[in-house]
Amino acid sequence: MANARDMLGAVQRAGFLFHSLNLVSPDGTPFRLSVQGSEGHYCYPREQLEKLTDYTEVEVGVISADREFIEPRSVVLGIDGDGDAGEPCGYVPLDELVAALDAFFAAGGTVTP
Whole-angstrom Cα distance, residue 92 to residue 80? 6
The total domain count for the chain is 1
The 10s digit of each residue's pLDDT in 59-103 is: 888 888 777 766 655 545 666 555 555 678 888 899 988 888 888
Angle, CA 17 vertex, CA 109 and CA 53 arms, to 5°: 60
For the chain, what's the residue count? Answer: 113
Q: Kindly report the pTM of this predicted structure.
A: 0.81
Whole-angstrom Cα distance, residue 44 to residue 19? 16
Residue-number span of the structural domain to which 31 is assigned: 4-112
Whole-angstrom Cα distance, residue 101 to residue 81? 15
- 98, with CB counted inside 10 A (0-12, 13-18, 19+), is middle
Q: Which residue has the higher pLDDT, 41 or 12?
A: 41
pLDDT number for residue 56: 95
- The CB-side HSE value for 89 (13 A sphere, CA atoms) comes to 24
